[in-house]
C-alpha cells in the first residue's frame, strides 16, 4: 500500500466568471464558467499519511501553524477523506504563483491536492470525478484539472453531482495571455467572503447569473469558431460586469488599484489603434491581457517586459 502521493495542476483564468454560490458548503455556483489553464504556473503537492495528532501543512516547505487560515481550510477539506478521525496527513504544497494574488492559487492548490489524494489512495478517478472533488475545496479548482479551455457546468442538482468541469478540446496555438502585475500582495478579501457579500447585499447581482450564463455560451462558441474578437469582447465585458457587482456590494469590494485603471485605459487606447487586445480581471488588482500571437510586439512595446503565457505552446 502507498504511503505517499503527488499531484500537479495549473492555475486557470476564467474567461467568463464564477461569482456567487447557490450552496456555500458544496461550492455550487449560481452560474457556469469557462476558463483557460496556464501551464507552467501552478501547484505541486505531496501528501502522505502520518502518525500524529493533527495534520502537518507546509507551504513552499515552510510549516504553517495549525491555526493558519490556509492550514485550517486544507484540514477541513481533508476531513472529507479521512479513514477514521485519527488519520492525519502531511501535505507539502509548492506554488509557482504567489498565494492569493488574484492568480487563483487556491484553484491549482485543490486540484493538485485531489490529484495527490487520488495517487495516494489509488482511486483511479476520471477527470469529471476529480473535478467534483476539487470543487469541494474551491469552486474554481474544478476547472484546474484540465489543460487548455475548460467549462464548469453549473449543474442543477442539490447534491452537486452534476456540477463539474470538463475540457473543451479546441487547441488555439496563437492564443496568448499577458500578466500585468499591479500588486502581488495577499488580497484584502477572499473570493469566498466577497462573493457571499455580493449575493447578500448587491441589488445589481440579480442580473448577473443570467448574463454570466449567456456569456459562457458566447465564449464557448467563440472558442469553437476561433472568433477572437467575440471571445475578447465577451470576456472583458463579463469581467467588468462582475466587478460592477463587487463595487455595488456593501461594504464595497474594490479590488482595483490606480495602476489597474491605468492599464485598462492602455488596453482601450491600443484597441482604438486597431490592435486586438482585451483584458480580464479576478479578485485582485492585476490584469490578464488576452491577445493573439501576432500582437505580441505591439503588446511588448506598450506594456514592457510583462510575462506572456502561451497556453497551447508552453
Ligand atoms: C473571481 O473559486 O476562489 O476568480 O469557491 O469560495 O473557493 P471559492 O471561490 P474561488 O472564486 C473564484 C472567483 C474568481 C472568478 C473565477 O475564477 O471564475
Q: How far apart are the first and last CA of the chain?
A: 35
Q: Which residues touch 293 (CB under 8 Å, ≥6 apart)?
A: 173, 174, 175, 176, 310
* Cβ 106 under 6 angstroms from ligand 1: yes
Q: Which helix (H) or strand (E) holds 120?
A: helix 105-120
Protein residue with least CA distance to atom 11, ligand 1: 191
Q: Measured in angstroms, how far is the CA atom of residue 184 from the centroid of ligand 1?
A: 17
Q: Per-residue pLDDT averaged across 252-269, rounded?
A: 97
Scanning the structure block, which residue is given the C-alpha cell 487586445?
277
* Cβ 236 under 6 angstroms from ligand 1: no
pLDDT at 194 over 90: yes
Q: Measured in angstroms, how far is the CA atom of residue 1 from the centroid of ligand 1?
A: 35
> How high is the mean pLDDT of the chain?
94
CA distances from residue 109 to 20, 41, 73, 77, 266 in whole angstroms, order as listed: 20, 11, 11, 12, 32
Q: Measured in angstroms, how far is the CA atom of residue 191 from the centroid of ligand 1?
A: 6
User: pLDDT digits over 40-83, tens only?
Assistant: 899 999 999 999 999 999 988 889 888 888 889 999 999 999 98
273 conformational bin, left if phi > 0, alpha if psi -120 to 50, beta if neither: alpha
Where helices occur in 149-272 by DSSP H, the ranges are: 191-201, 208-225, 228-247, 258-272
pLDDT at 99 over 70: no
Q: What is the pLDDT of residue 100?
A: 44
* Cβ 27 under 6 angstroms from ligand 1: yes
CA-derived radius of gyration, the chain: 19
Q: Which atom of ligand 1 is nearest to the CA of 13?
A: 17
How sure is the predictor about 16, in pLDDT bands with cuts at 50, 70 and 90?
very high
User: pLDDT digits over 127-161, tens only?
Assistant: 999 999 999 999 999 999 999 999 999 999 999 99
Residue 45 burial (10 A CB sphere; 0-12, 13-18, 19+): buried
Q: What is the pLDDT of residue 101?
A: 46
C-alpha cell at 40: 507552467
CA distance 67 to 69: 6
* Cβ 215 under 6 angstroms from ligand 1: no
Q: Are strands 88-95 and 56-59 parallel, antiparallel or unpaired?
A: parallel
Report the percentage of the chain scoring pLDDT > 90: 85
Amino acid at each position: 500500500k502507498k504511503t505517499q502521493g503527488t499531484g500537479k495542476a495549473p492555475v486557470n483564468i476564467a474567461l467568463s466568471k464564477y461569482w456567487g454560490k447557490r450552496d456555500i458548503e458544496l461550492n455550487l455556483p449560481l452560474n457556469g464558467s469557462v476558463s483557460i489553464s496556464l501551464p507552467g504556473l501552478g501547484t505541486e503537492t505531496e501528501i502522505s499519511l502520518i502518525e500524529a495528532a493533527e495534520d502537518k501543512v507546509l507551504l513552499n516547505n515552510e510549516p504553517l501553524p495549525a491555526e493558519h487560515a490556509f492550514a485550517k481550510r486544507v484540514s477541513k477539506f481533508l476531513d472529507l477523506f479521512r479513514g477514521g478521525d485519527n488519520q492525519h496527513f502531511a501535505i507539502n504544497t509548492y506554488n509557482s504563483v504567489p498565494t492569493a494574488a488574484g492568480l487563483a492559487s487556491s484553484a491549482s492548490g485543490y486540484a493538485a491536492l485531489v490529484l495527490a489524494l487520488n495517487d495516494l489512495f489509488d482511486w483511479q478517478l476520471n477527470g469529471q470525478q476529480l473535478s467534483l472533488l476539487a470543487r469541494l475545496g474551491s469552486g474554481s479548482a474544478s476547472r484546474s484539472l484540465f489543460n487548455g479551455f475548460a467549462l464548469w457546468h453549473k449543474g442543477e442538482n442539490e447534491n452537486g453531482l452534476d456540477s463539474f468541469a470538463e475540457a473543451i478540446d479546441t487547441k488555439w496555438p496563437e492564443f496568448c495571455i499577458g500578466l500585468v502585475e499591479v500588486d502581488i500582495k495577499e488580497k484584502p478579501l477572499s473570493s469566498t467572503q466577497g462573493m457571499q457579500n455580493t449575493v447578500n447585499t448587491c441589488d445589481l447581482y440579480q442580473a448577473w447569473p443570467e448574463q454570466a450564463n449567456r456569456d459562457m455560451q458566447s465564449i464557448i462558441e467563440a472558442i469553437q469558431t476561433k472568433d477572437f474578437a467575440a471571445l475578447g469582447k465577451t470576456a472583458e465585458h463579463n469581467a467588468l460586469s462582475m466587478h460592477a457587482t463587487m463595487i455595488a456590494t456593501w461594504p464595497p469590494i474594490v479590488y482595483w488599484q490606480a495602476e489597474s485603471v491605468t492599464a485598462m485605459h492602455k488596453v482601450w487606447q491600443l484597441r482604438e489603434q486597431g490592435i486586438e487586445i482585451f483584458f480580464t480581471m479576478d479578485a485582485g488588482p492585476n490584469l490578464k491581457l488576452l491577445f493573439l500571437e501576432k500582437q505580441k510586439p505591439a503588446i511588448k512595446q506598450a506594456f514592457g517586459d510583462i510575462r506572456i503565457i502561451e497556453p497551447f505552446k508552453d
